[in-house]
Structure 1
């Protein structure tokens, strides 16, 4: 029996190490930890309860990616960091979101006051895999900002930052902006006009 407990402990540690120390109750259950065993480990300090159904290994060092991993796990791996949050990830301008922005597929129903969800079908070419979490590409992020309530000034700063960092080109941005609709295309064109002027 001790070997089984040790195998379980190693399995949860391996999983947590791949997810910045986090793991969900559902993941622990799948590994073989009953809900009663999960409560025992949380109560005894072997695991830190972060939120309902979400744990972390104790004394795990914090990292800038923590919030993205946490909310990706909350979304059961279905959410992609996007909009203002993706702009923060890519260091595009001066956006400082009060909420976590996640793009989620149709049918996603979970809600949390800390999260703004954007329901859409994201093509794989618009998503970057960061291991334990995903984020929209800089190009897709700019298009999302152009379609959203971002001020023109914030959009201009984001477009300028993306071009300065070489994350996209004005040509690619114009092509994709035309696909995003008239309003987004006009806002992108204005932003490009101020950055190239």
Structure 2
């Protein structure tokens, strides 16, 4: 049974509120909006076209992480599923494990991802297990554990890495035993191993 205009509007509004005001063409279609409806509401100022296949409802207040939500939706595949996960330096900031303010947004995408890198972003290609991802409003971010593993293999300074590890351990975001197991199994985590050693020595 076709939805009424009111039902379609309510469905789309509820979805958009969960995504910082954003919605995709496919989501609008599933809510009951045709292309002619989208064009009408864009002309009327009810919808704002942000990118190809991506719109925003201006009446919805912008989320503090507006850009991360937009980039998540930008990364969607042909099934309309977001592919990007906020990671590395940007994830450190979200988890409040660093005081640094990165000048670029770091995202991890699947190895098969082919879209060009947006201005102001760094794309890392890797496989991320579902257990290493946390859901936020409108986007996903790597878990504190995965974030530290990624940071240990990035350009984050050793000093900042040690601060992040100490912060995560103190706040109970990660377990030392889990980090210790990871560094023993992966030789590429030598910087993380060194950080754990220094933190242990400093707490004696």
Q: TM-score, normalised by structure 2?
A: 0.84
CA distance in 2 between partners of 1:162 and 1:11 (Å): 39
The question of 1:108 aligning with 2:113 is answered: yes
* 1:114 CA displacement: 3.0
The question of 1:41 aligning with 2:75 is answered: no
Stretch of structure 1 that moved more, 159-168 or 52-61: 52-61
Stretch of structure 1 that moved more, 147-156 or 41-50: 41-50
CA distance in 2 between partners of 1:39 and 1:113 (Å): 28
Runs of 4+ in 1 over 4 A off after TM superposition: none
2:79 is aligned to none
State whether residues 80 and 102 of structure 1, in contact with CA within 8 Å, keep that contact through their aligned partners in structure 2: yes
Give runs of aligned pairs for residues 38-187 of structure 1, distance below 5 A.
Answer: 38-76=38-76, 77-111=82-116, 112-179=118-185, 181-184=186-189, 186-187=190-191
* 1:177 CA displacement: 2.4
Stretch of structure 1 that moved more, 56-65 or 14-23: 56-65
Unpaired runs of at least 5, structure 2: 77-81
- CA deviation vs aligned residue, 1:18-70 (integer Å, no higher than 9, x gap): 21211122322333333343232122110133334322222322332323222
CA distance in 1 between partners of 2:59 and 2:12 (Å): 15
CA distance in 1 between partners of 2:43 and 2:105 (Å): 29
SS of the residue 2:98 aligns to: coil
Aligned length: 193
C-alpha spacing 1:142/1:194, structure 2 compared with 1 (3 Å): same
CA distance in 2 between partners of 1:43 and 1:98 (Å): 35
Question: What do you get for the CA RMSD once the two structures are aligned?
Answer: 2.0
CA distance in 2 between partners of 1:148 and 1:125 (Å): 21
